[in-house]
Structure 1
């Protein structure tokens, strides 16, 4: 499966699981249909293909001992680089075969998430980290398990005209459904819309109605963001969406919200608000047909208000993204 993925997919960082989910035992995860095992040692976090080279048992069934991942079947021990350093059944005077290695993947931990990359990372961290200003209050939201293709979830996030109907009374009002014309431009490889003004009865869960100024961004095949700005008082937040495409029709989504206001306020209300929005979106993305996102623009009808969706589909095609698309 991995051999079929384009470089644009393999060079990206994906959030595999919450840091709080990884303790002293190995934990399995799935990305692009590939089984992954993650584990923690005194040297940090590690990610391997979840397969012992000996007899094909998942390494996630094993344990972590003395900073080594131990296979549950025959006790083979792997260090953090994936090298087998001990085979109990092998006489002490015999060398460990060179082939006795686990496939290791790039892995690191930040912002409450464990990140993995299946290929050669394009950068040391996801590119949008540059927007995580230290002066902003950063809140982690999710994970959200969705029975939907990753590109469908990203496109829903980028779709401004659904706010007035799916999120009516919160992010939009069906009495004010018109979307101004806007353009999509590219800045340093990032797709970015002009600002779009949307009337919102409850912009972020605090019960405040206002004309929000939206800007949407696409950083990669499964990473997008929106910037919501209130020009009247200078309040602003970035909301980053990161999707882990587990299979073509099952995904795990995470969000990071970075706001410049109410930084001492409890985060629970903001998280609960986003949880509500995700459940409203779930009904749509889990029932869309076809399940995989069509990249042929003739397959569905598009309007000017769909320009970001169009640009996203075109970019997916350029990136060679075939996972979760049709």
Structure 2
């Protein structure tokens, strides 16, 4: 496991809940192999390892709310305790050591979140808030999970960067004829960083209709951010909850919820495919950035006023003590 002192205590998105059905699913979080499985009381997360002979529980099956090891058939209940060892008589006591390692797990916004800290549910921060999900004025779609070969902080910072829209996403989110980013500021609000509205002139919806759109970025947690994009000419709002699963130092899975208050009866596939195209374009850049780690020393790279959101992100990671995917050299 990558021993990041901050991320092991944070709620991290690991899967869409709809992808956890009747079979165990393996995910990797900070190099820790985890098995997810669904029970009548919800989705559970265990270390993907049987205490008996080290077989991966994700190769097994789910029976009567228990996960069954594929090697010797040991059954583990939703609390991690072994409830059946086929090789011994039913009346024989099962050793107390026969139990799986259980991780805190919750489902919110249709996403499965895992916290590697055993005390998270009592003392940890709550899952980041995303108000549009339960707002009846909005329709939310899940963008397909996307795997990038890059560190999580690089991926999140790219999402928070308004300056690249006119070039990396020309024709989708920006226009290189209108690259200027007006000055703005970033503010601390309760438990997160929030930017001023950033005016960007671009094709509003891919139809060739240009308009000034107003972007507001929020840095919710080290691996989670939010974007709100408003077109005041027609009051259309599109919001994105963007959260990533840091599998290891160079592999990250992106989950994105895209919410809109317009075109509510149009096929969701357009918005899903649009977001997929955007992240594909981002991947080409992120996977080739150097250094691979995000420099947290603000003297390491050149910054502009247009970079205020990413500056706030780097500064906050350093203040929190995040080390995963980060170049902490130069920090005091």
**Fold similarity call, TM over 0.5:** yes
Q: Residues 191-234 of structure 1: CA distance to partner in whole angstroms, max 9, x if unpaired? A: 01111100112x33344321100111000000001110111121
Corresponding position of 2:107: 109
**3-state SS, counterpart of residue 271 of structure 1:** helix
Q: Which runs of 5+ in 2 are unaligned?
A: 328-332
Mapping 1:70-109, distance limit 5 Å: 70-109=68-107
Conserved in 1, the CA contact under 8 Å of 2:128 and 2:221? Answer: no
**3-state SS, counterpart of residue 86 of structure 2:** coil
Corresponding position of 2:23: 25
Conserved in 1, the CA contact under 8 Å of 2:171 and 2:206? Answer: no
What is the CA distance between 1:18 and its match in structure 2? 2.5
Conserved in 1, the CA contact under 8 Å of 2:219 and 2:225? Answer: yes
**3-state SS, counterpart of residue 300 of structure 1:** coil
What is the CA distance between 1:24 and its match in structure 2? 1.4
Distance 2:302 2:237 in 1: 33
What is the CA distance between 1:128 and its match in structure 2? 1.9
Mapping 1:49-60, distance limit 5 Å: 49-60=47-58
**3-state SS, counterpart of residue 240 of structure 1:** strand
Conserved in 2, the CA contact under 8 Å of 1:171 and 1:199? Answer: no
Corresponding position of 1:5: 4
Q: Structure 1 runs of 4+ off > 6 angstroms?
A: none
**3-state SS, counterpart of residue 100 of structure 1:** coil
Equivalences, count? 323
TM-score, normalised to structure 2, is: 0.92
Corresponding position of 1:61: 59
Mapping 1:256-295, distance limit 5 Å: 256-295=257-296
Q: Residues 142-179 of structure 1: CA distance to partner in whole angstroms, max 9, x if unpaired? A: 20111111110100011111011111122111122111
Corresponding position of 2:169: 167
What is the CA distance between 1:190 and its match in structure 2? 1.0
Select the residue among 185, 188, 204 that pairs with 1:186.
188
Conserved in 2, the CA contact under 8 Å of 1:14 and 1:243? Answer: yes
Corresponding position of 1:145: 147
What is the CA distance between 1:263 and its match in structure 2? 1.2
Corresponding position of 1:232: 233
**3-state SS, counterpart of residue 279 of structure 1:** helix
Distance 2:124 2:238 in 1: 24
Conserved in 2, the CA contact under 8 Å of 1:164 and 1:176? Answer: yes
Distance 2:320 2:57 in 1: 32
Q: Which runs of 5+ in 1 are unaligned?
A: none
What is the CA distance between 1:323 and its match in structure 2? 1.1
Conserved in 2, the CA contact under 8 Å of 1:76 and 1:87? Answer: yes
**3-state SS, counterpart of residue 85 of structure 1:** strand
Distance 2:126 2:298 in 1: 32
**3-state SS, counterpart of residue 81 of structure 1:** coil
Distance 1:90 1:38 in 2: 27
Does 1:214 pair with 2:218?
Answer: no
Select the residue among 196, 199, 212 that pairs with 1:197.
199
